Amino acid sequence: MARVRGRSRSSAVLRRLRLRWIRLTQPVLGPFRARWRRSLMVRTMTITGLVTGFVVLVSGVFIITSVGGDLYSSRRDQALQDSARATLAAQRWIDASDASDSGGLSTLTGSVRNAVRDTSASQMVYLRRQPGQAAFPAAPPPSSTNPMLPPAVSTELSRAIADGTQHWQPVTFVADDGTPSPGIVVGSTLAFPAGAGTYELFIGYNLADTQDTLSFVQRTLLIAGAAMMAFIGVLVWIMTRIVFRPIRAAADTSRRLASGESDARMPRQNDEHFDVLSDGFNEMAETLQARIRELDQLSEMQQRFVSDVSHELRTPLTTIRLASEVLQGSAGEREPGQQRAVEVLGAQVQRFESLLEDLLEISRYDAGRVTLHTEATNLVSLAREVVDGLQPLSKGVIEVRALGGYSPVDVDARRIRRIVSNLVGNAIEHGEGGPIVVSIDSSASAVAITVRDWGIGMSESDAEHVFDRFWRADPSRKRTLGGTGLGLAIAREDAAVHGGILDVWSRLGEGSNFRLTLPRRDSVTDFMSPLPLVPEDVAEGDDTRSTGGWLHRPWRRVRKEGR
């Protein structure tokens, strides 16, 4: 248990540290991370720069290490050879001397020191009697030609040369002003005559010039590496610009095509592979342009056909309607069966006229030739007028609940009245004789009208197609109000040209709820409906069926005219 708690605590500490690190680095690394995720060019340049920098760094370190090691080894070997030669010359000088008293030994010591300094390449000579020997009153004191050398001689080096062999040690010389410099001290022994004993000879070699040479090499390599990194960076940037140019050209061309420039084409790149891409892309664009042109022509022909047919049918339909009215006027002269046929003829002629009107309206929407005649309209009064007109057709009660919406709104009253009439008519058609509630409410940005019935309702798949043209949930069901199958499609188009939304909630056996939401002003583009789509009598959390949501319809070319 204690181990588990310890792990959880450590995990919490690591999580806090990670969050703190993210907060600290977010202002600096945040834009770079975003650019890294969005740009392949940035990723390519960054990875190339990092790899190149790593290679240059490793190469520079290797070169500096090799050059420094070779310089140091060369100077060390020279120092050892020079010290050995100076030691032999000093020993010959001592062997040729017959000094035995204190004065003679002092003179001999000075002569040996000068001989070593003249023979070797260094001017730093330190001579002293080897520690641990018996006292000798005539022995000369230690002597040095440079004050930096005696402090640099270590006890380890003195012990190492006690066996009479030559040894060396790297040291650091410190000048009077405190400036340090690297160096080497080579130690050896000399045998003095007349019982003077053995003397230690230390020769110092200052490597400041070697250090300066190595520093110059380091600076040169650093400048060369920086220049190389800058050159490689510029080269990578140029190469990536060249390599990604066809990709940018393809992206720009596709963006222009998507924005509606059907004549946009991708230029050739003078490369066999990219030229194949350019040719294929351009062929695809030309094919798409041809297909779009064909579809536009077909769509235009279809719209013209519907419009022309609708207009051409008006003349014979008017004649048939007049003939039907004449037949209905002479009702007393026919038998009951004939009279029923005349009545059916009149009803179908009226329905045919409604269908033609709806087809013409749909053709106007498809062609984008809709004109709005806006005026200040009280939606509560409008809804009540519609309900009063349709109440005789309903077996149940139609209630109007005005929670708001009394302030006038600039809308095309004819189209909004058509929407409400269609929704209430559908509620009567499918409400199974039950009650219908029409609710109106408003907010600072929108006005909403809902039509709720408790009829047969719709399934989820039916609710998704309820606004389709000529669609019926149950084709075998008889229409009591003589609908054309275009009412809800036109209603949604009427809502869309006002910048509004028409959506629906429905469930089998529990009825439907249609909601119309309109913005108060043309400048309002983001709004919420003041009325809920799911009715309040539906249990919270139940699975609901709805379509429409909050998505606006595509923009249409609409001209508004005020009255």
Q: What is the CATH number of the domain that holds 156?
A: 3.30.450.20
The token pair that represents 326 in the structure block: 């004449």
Query: What is the pLDDT at residue 563?
Result: 37
Q: In which residue are the tokens 């939606």 written?
A: 379
pLDDT tens digits for 201-219? 889 898 888 888 888 888 8
Q: Give the total residue count for the chain.
A: 563
**pLDDT, tens digit only, all 563 positions of the chain:** 444 455 566 677 777 777 776 666 666 666 666 766 767 777 777 888 888 888 888 888 888 888 888 888 888 898 889 888 888 888 888 777 776 666 777 777 777 887 888 888 888 888 888 887 777 766 777 888 888 888 888 888 888 888 888 899 998 888 888 888 899 999 888 887 766 778 888 898 988 888 888 888 888 888 888 888 888 888 888 887 777 777 778 778 888 887 777 778 878 777 777 778 788 888 888 888 888 888 777 777 766 776 676 667 767 767 777 777 776 666 566 677 777 777 777 777 777 777 767 667 776 666 666 778 889 999 999 999 999 988 888 888 889 999 988 889 999 888 899 899 889 988 888 888 889 999 999 888 899 999 999 988 888 888 888 888 777 665 555 555 555 567 788 888 888 888 899 999 998 888 899 999 999 887 777 788 899 988 887 755 444 444 443 333 333 333 344 43
Task: Using alpha carbons, select from 379, 358, 510 the residue that is nearest to residue 450.
Answer: 379
In a domain, 50, yes or no: no
Q: What angle do CA 485, 489, 491 make, to 5 degrees?
A: 110
Do 480 and 352 sit in the same domain of this protein? Answer: no
**pLDDT value for 513:** 92
Q: Is residue 540 part of a domain?
A: yes
Q: Is 282 within the bounds of a domain?
A: yes
Distance CA 64, CA 219 (A): 10
- Token digits for 476? 């075998």
Question: Residue 372 corresponds to which tokens in the numbers above?
Answer: 């709005």
Cα–Cα distance for residue pair 76/317, rounded to 1 Å: 119
Which bin fits 560, alpha (ψ -120 to 50), beta or left (φ > 0)? beta
Q: Do residues 439 and 319 both lie within one domain?
A: no
Q: Are strands 436-442 and 398-402 parallel, antiparallel or unpaired?
A: parallel
Nearest to residue 515, comparing CAs of 463, 440, 415? 440
Side chain identity at residue 155, one-letter code: T
Domain boundary among 367, 385, 401: 367
Q: How many CA atoms lie within 13 A of 325 on its CB side?
A: 7
pLDDT score at 526: 79
Q: How far is CA 233 from the centre of its chain?
A: 24
Structure tokens at 520: 């108060």
Q: What is the DSSP letter of 100?
A: -
209 and 274 assigned to the same domain: no
Report whether 418 contacts 491 (CB < 8 A): yes
Tell whether 129 and 167 lie within a shared domain. Answer: yes
Bridge-based pairing state of the strands 167-174 and 558-562: unpaired
What pLDDT, on the 0 to 100 scale, is given for residue 26?
62
Indicate whether 403 and 342 sit together in one domain. no
Give the per-residue pLDDT at 554. Answer: 35
| Helical (H) or strand (E) element with 71 | helix 40-95
Residue of 484, 270, 243 whose CA lies nearest to 358:
484
Q: 518 exposed, middle or buried (CB, 10 Å; 0-12, 13-18, 19+)?
A: buried
**Residue bearing tokens 């061309």:** 253
Q: In what order do the strands lie in the sheet with 511-519?
A: 398-402, 436-442, 446-453, 511-519, 501-507, 546-547
CB 98 within 8 A of CB 193: yes
What are the structure tokens assigned to 323, written together?
């003939």
Q: What is the domain-level CATH number for residue 349? A: 1.10.287.130
β-strand partners of 170? 184
Distance (Å) of CA 440 to CA 15, 216, 488, 506: 53, 88, 19, 19
Angle at alpha carbon of residue 558, lines to 547 and 314, rounded to 5°: 90
**Domain total of the chain:** 3
Locus of tokens 């309206």: 361
Residues 304 and 193 in one domain: no
Q: Which residues contact 313 (CB under 8 A, 6 or more apart)?
A: 352, 356
- The verdict on residue 46 lying in a domain is no
- Domain closes at, from 169, 193, 213: 213
Q: Which of 81, 62, 65 is nearest to 184 (CA)?
A: 81
Whether residue 412 is found in the same domain as residue 321: no
| Residues 379, 449 contacting (CB under 8 angstroms) | yes
Please identify which residue in the block is written with the tokens 């160096």. 183
- What's the start-to-end Cα distance of the chain, in Å? 81
348 in a domain, yes or no?
Answer: yes
The pLDDT value recorded for residue 474 is 58
Burial profile 220-243: b = 16 or more Cβ within 10 angstroms, e = fewer? ebeeebeebeeebeeebeeebeee
**347-403 pLDDT tens trace:** 777 777 777 676 677 766 666 667 788 899 999 999 999 999 888 888 888 899 999
Range of the domain at 537: 373-562
327 and 393 fall within a common domain = no
Is residue 283 domain-shared with residue 194, that is, in the same domain?
Answer: no
Cβ 124 vs Cβ 206: under 8 Å: yes
Taking residue 364's Cβ as centre, other Cβ atoms within 10 Å add up to: 16
Per the domain annotation, does 270 fall within a domain? Answer: yes
Q: Judge if 357 and 390 occupy the same domain.
A: no
For every residue of 270-305, DSSP letters joined together read: SSHHHHHHHHHHHHHHHHHHHHHHHHHHHHHHHHHH
Residues 273 and 398 in one domain: no
Within 8 A by CB and 6+ apart from 492, the residues are 467, 502, 553
Query: Same domain, yes or no, for 301 and 378?
Result: no
Domain ends where: 213, 228, 245? 213
8 A C-beta contact, residue 486 and residue 470? yes
Report the distance separating Cα 465 and Cα 170, nearest Å.
93
In a domain, residue 254? The reply is: no
Residue 147 placed within a domain? yes
Determine the Cα angle at 262 with ends 260 and 265, to 5°: 120
- What's 437's domain CATH number? 3.30.565.10
SS (H, E, C) 323-377: HHHHHHHCHHHCCHHHHHHHHHHHHHHHHHHHHHHHHHHHHHHHHCCEEEEEEEE
